[in-house]
Amino acid sequence: MSFRPSRSLLFGLIALLSACSPKPQEKVKPVAVVAETGALLTVGSISVNQADLDYQLKQSHGGRTDAESRREALGELADRAQLAQAALDAHLQQDPMVRAEFARVLANRLKEKELFPKLKAAAAEEIPEPRLRELYAAGESGFRSNEKREAAVLWLNPNKNPERAKQYVEKLTTAREWFSQNSDLKAHPEQGFSTLGVDYSEHQASRYKNGIVGWFESAGGLDAWTKAVAEILFSLPEPGAISEVVSRPEGVFLVRYLAARPAVLRTFESVSEELARSEQQRIRKAAESEFNKSIEEKYPVRWLE
């Protein structure tokens, strides 16, 4: 679009350039202001308009709009336009790196304008309490911790040798009888099996720690050994109780039930903020999925050989 500048605008521009005359040998940038709403300058096929100037002032000049800041910003835009036109003339718009960067900038800008406001609104959305209670009821199992029991173990490994397994059962039976006669040890579950672990256990992690192996849920761990201990442990009636000597494929066991942590259900009030964050995250993901789906449907990919 062409525009013929008014006499007052031309005089104002001349006065501005005179007031900001360059030092000797300083490069002078030709700057042509033609209209507030039209092109401010052109270089070849590239034009710079008022919106470009406003953005440059905001990005590089702290939003200042005084005459000096405008002149510097227009000079910067002129420099950039010259380089851009030179790049176009060199056909760099077809350079793979330029195409990739251009596509990235366009994609990010599209998301900033059409997707990010929706994500921001989702993050600020207050989830109503009835919805939170509905989520709480649906996911109650996730807010419940299972009962845990602490165990002490005496364990011997016969390596599937029946004769040795028989000997080990007799050995742990002797240990159990000694334990049953020790009233002080029976009255203090926290002592585990006391010094029995050193002579009556091959479990290296616990034999020098009174046989105490830690806390178990009823399902045990991932390996067969902890599952075996958990099964024996959860068959015992109360803290302090000691099992019979049990021979299993995993070895010969004597297990003591030391302490319990009951199953606990976290209250709605204690998890409501967590539920709200999770629901907001779900809404954001849904918005992003909807955005991506709309792009895929509107702009299908045509694969070429």
Tens-place pLDDT, residues 42-66: 999 999 999 999 999 999 999 999 9
Residue type, 73: A
Phi, psi of 158 (to 5 degrees): -85, 0
Do 49 and 77 meet the contact criterion of CB atoms below 8 Å apart?
A: no
Between 184 and 28, name the one with better pLDDT.
Answer: 184
Position 281 scores a pLDDT of 92
* pLDDT for res 288: 95
DSSP output for 233-264: HTTS-STT-BPPPEEETTEEEEEEEEEEE--E
What is the model's pLDDT at position 30?
44
Return the minimum-mean-pLDDT range out of 17-21, 132-136, 197-201. Answer: 17-21
H-helix or E-strand containing 148? Answer: strand 148-156
- Cα dihedral 247/249/254/256 (nearest 10): -130
Q: Would you state the pLDDT for residue 24?
A: 37
- pLDDT tens column, 154-192: 999 999 899 999 999 999 999 999 998 888 888 889 989
pLDDT of residue 291: 95
Per DSSP, the residues of 84-135 read HHHHHHTTGGGSHHHHHHHHHHHHHHHIIIIIHHHHHHHHHPPPPHHHHHHH
Shortest CA distance to 156 belongs to which of 248, 257, 258, 256?
Answer: 248
Q: Would you say 279 and 127 are in contact if contact means Cβ atoms under 8 Å apart? A: yes
Q: What is the rounded CA–CA span in Å between residue 45 and residue 24?
A: 31
Residue carrying structure tokens 């851009």? 84
Instruction: In whole angstroms, give the CA distance from residue 228 to residue 214.
Output: 14
Burial class for 57, CB neighbours closer than 10 Å (0-12, 13-18, 19+)? buried
Of the candidates 178, 146, 114, the residue with the CA atom closest to the CA atom of residue 266:
146
pLDDT on residue 186: 85
Q: Which two tokens stand for residue 53?
A: 């100037």
Domains annotated on the chain, with CATH: 7-93 (no CATH), 95-143+266-305 (no CATH), 147-262 (3.10.50.40)
Q: How large is the average pLDDT for residues 233-253?
A: 95
Count of residues making up the chain = 305
